């Protein structure tokens, strides 16, 4: 059985941008990972915004998702929007954006606690409904 990791916007952008200060570390961790990466449409949208100003950025992002077999979940149904808004209100002091909220909801739905993120502060604080803490996989370990 393969492992699943959630993937946030930051590592996607860093992976695609060799000038990003986190590029080397992210490439090393993601290229050595043998499992399935999962994310949300909100994360892909946010990442697309960040890479859209670079030549071939959107194409490279699409290829990263397609070639990497990243499973993308759409969490924009009315009940999910309400749950995301409630999370954003709950963590307004952190703060939490919509993409982060969808990842927390997806973590609960798929029972995944491992996340590739550069948002150490946020994902060290966020908890899904199960109250379990996230494990930040870019910070080491398996």
The secondary structure element, H or E, covering residue 107 is helix 98-110
pLDDT value of residue 129: 79
For residue 8, what pLDDT band results from cuts at 50, 70 and 90? very high
The angle, 0 to 180 degrees and rounded to 10, between the axes of the packed helices 98-110 and 41-51 is: 140
Instruction: Tally the domains of the chain.
Output: 1
Average pLDDT score over residue span 19-31: 96
Summarised one tens digit per residue, pLDDT across range 92-142 is 999 999 999 999 999 999 999 999 999 999 999 999 777 789 999 998 655
pLDDT value of residue 132: 85
pLDDT value of residue 2: 65
Summarised one tens digit per residue, pLDDT across range 39-94 is 999 999 999 999 999 999 999 999 999 999 999 999 999 999 999 999 999 999 99
pTM: 0.94
Q: What CATH number does residue 22 fall under?
A: 3.40.50.1010
Q: 3-state SS of 34-66?
A: CEEEEEEHHHHHHHHHHHCCCCCHHHHHHHHHH
- Containing domain of residue 43, as a range? 3-139
């Amino acid at each position: 059985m393969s492992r699943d990791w959630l993937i946030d916007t930051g590592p996607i952008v860093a992976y695609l941008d060799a000038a990003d200060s986190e590029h080397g570390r992210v490439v090393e961790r993601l290229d050595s990972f043998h499992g399935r990466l999962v994310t949300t449409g909100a994360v892909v949208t946010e990442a697309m915004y960040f890479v859209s100003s670079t030549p071939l950025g959107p194409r490279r992002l699409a290829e990263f998702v397609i070639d990497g077999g990243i499973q993308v979940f759409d969490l924009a149904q009315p009940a999910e929007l309400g749950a995301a808004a409630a999370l954003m209100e709950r963590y307004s002091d952190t703060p939490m954006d919509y993409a982060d909220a969808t990842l927390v909801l997806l973590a609960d739905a798929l029972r995944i606690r491992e996340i590739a993120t550069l948002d150490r502060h946020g994902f060290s604080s966020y908890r899904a409904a199960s109250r379990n803490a996230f494990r930040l996989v870019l910070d080491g370990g398996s």
